[in-house]
Amino acid sequence: MPTIITHGIVGYSGSRIFSDKQQSVKFALLSTLCSIIPDFDAISFKLGVKYGDFFGHRGFSHSIVFAAIIAFIAAGITVRYFKVKNCKFWPFFIYFFIITISHSILDAFTDGGLGVALFSPFDNTRYFFPFHPIRVAPISIFRFFSINGVLVLLSELLWIWLPLLVIIKLYGKYKIKQNH
């Protein structure tokens, strides 16, 4: 998996792209939470759940169905409680679905682990994409603060942060052109 830092940056960046400058801090926090929530399954290790189990790491919480459930809840919260102009449910549902499933997609591009159960609960097979450019982050905090952790961050910088920065810059130029 990429680090929780990178997943969070993806969620926060999505909130900046999707919304105008007046968007609330709550929306940015909810976007960030949606991008990292699939990794809450790491708690399952402490509960004795095995990695490859249904509720194990990269299991059901990394599935398309889970992303849709989280998107439904987050869009409902946004429409009901946040003060957003022209707030419609379905655009926010699609947005939060993309932000949440981005976690699983990024995990499927890593070079370690058992893969991602994208189609759970219907099929619990774990999948990777054929191309694995992102180094898998160690779950242990002690292993993260090692040369391996530095290599993980460098691969995330190259394959996630830089492309995301380009997207944000291009989107900003497009947005400015539209306003004139």
Which is more confident, 104 or 43? 104
pLDDT band at 176 (very low <50, low <70, confident <90, very high): very low
What global pTM score does this model have?
0.87
Position 2 scores a pLDDT of 80
Q: Is the pLDDT of residue 180 over 90?
A: no
Position 179 scores a pLDDT of 41
pLDDT tens digit sequence for 83-113: 666 678 999 999 999 999 999 999 999 998 8
Q: Is the pLDDT of residue 31 over 90?
A: yes
Which is more confident, 47 or 146? 47
What is the three-state SS of the chain?
Answer: CCCHHHHHHHHHHHHHHHCCCCCCHHHHHHHHHHHHHHHHHHHHHHCCCCCCCCCCCCCHHHCHHHHHHHHHHHHHHHHHHCCCCCCCHHHHHHHHHHHHHHHHHHHHCECCCCCECCCCCCCCCCECCCCCCECCCCCCHHHHCCHHHHHHHHHHHHHHHHHHHHHHHHHHHHHHHHHC
